[in-house]
Amino acid sequence: MAARSSWLFVSPMPDANSSRSTTMQSPFAREVIERLQAVYAIEAEIRGSSAEQRLAARRTRSALLMAALKARLTEMVGQLFSQSKLAEAINYALNHWDGLTLFPRSRPAPDCLPRSGA
Amino acid at the residue 26: S
- Give me the number of domains the chain comprises: 1
Q: How many other β-carbons are positioned within 10 Å of the β-carbon of residue 43?
A: 17
Instruction: Say if 64 falls within a structural domain.
Output: yes
Give mean pLDDT, residues 25-50.
92
Q: Do residues 100 and 6 lie in contact, with contact meaning Cβ atoms separated by under 8 Å?
A: yes
pLDDT at 23 over 80: no
Instruction: Say if 83 falls within a structural domain.
Output: yes
pLDDT at 6 over 90: no
| Cβ density class 76-114: b for 16+ within 10 Å, e for less | ebeeeeeeeebbebbeebeeeeeebbebbeeeeeeebee
72 three-state secondary structure: helix
49 is in which domain, residue-wise? 2-13+24-100
Task: Write down the pTM of the prediction.
Answer: 0.70
Instruction: Say if 106 falls within a structural domain.
Output: no
